[in-house]
Amino acid sequence: MTGDQLLFSTALQKLRLDGALALLGEKQDAASQDTPESGLQRLQSIIDGLCELSLRDPLTGCANRRHFDSVLDRELDRVARSGDVALLLMVDIDHFKQVNDRHGHLAGDAVLQHVAQALSHCIRPMDTLARYGGEEFAIVLPACQLAYGQSVAERVRQTVNALRVPIDALQTINVTVSIGGAYALQWIRSTRQLWLERADQHLYLAKSAGRNRIEIEQQPDSTVTAEEKNLLFIPELYTESKECSAEWFEALSVPTEITTDAN
């Protein structure tokens, strides 16, 4: 071992990792720092574990708000660029306060965990399930057509409705959820707040209509013409001589009919 390697190995051993390892439920493994390579691999593993931990809700294991916000922003950017579809579902447990009041907060935690597990079985690997806050969950479904979105929401509602959550050795309780949904606007650079507001409005409609219901906004018509798509995605507006190419002069000169409806 060279002098530099020895110094590096000594520095790794001096790192105070007890707190990080405790968060990950692990213990210090002295053998993993026998060589600089193994010590560095161990350090990378700890960093990866902490990053994963920082994106998860500790009670349910779902994505937390930080991760959820980044997924929403990414989907809005993708839909604006590609014109693909994406659905946001807001899922709220009905009468959750009554569960806490009647059976205690431990029972409420058990309900949240069982509902989260049920929701995770209803979605695709490419979808994102997050705990939005309190008793509310959110599901982001990329590339989700209108008919498929309704089917997913109904599967979620029925799966939760069939749950029997054990709260002690002799008693189980059943819960229901209300679901509101909204599609991202295609070809339009919208915002996370507006998308959430539209989905929340339909969740409120589901609650107001009696709960254990689904209300999904009809997919907005925000299509654009072929010429408008070309203007959105000009590969190179100028040639090497900085003059507009003939093809783009032709595209720019064609009159277009605006069909975008931003609602």
Task: List, by residue number, the catalytic residues.
Answer: 135
Dihedrals φ, ψ of 166, to 5°?
-75, 130
Dihedrals φ, ψ of 173, to 5°?
-130, 155
212: nearest Cα among 95, 38, 89: 95
Strands 177-183 and 214-216: parallel
63-82 per-residue burial string, b: 16 or more CB within 10 A, e: under 16: bbeebbeebbeebbeebbee
Alpha-carbon distances, residue 31 vs 52, 97, 172, 214 (angstroms): 24, 50, 47, 55
Alpha-carbon distance 212 to 223, whole Å? 33
93: nearest Cα among 132, 149, 150: 132
Contact assessment for residue 221 and residue 85, using Cβ atoms and an 8 Å cutoff: no
Amino acid sitting at position 67: H
Contacts for 10 with CB less than 8 Å, ≥ 6 apart: none
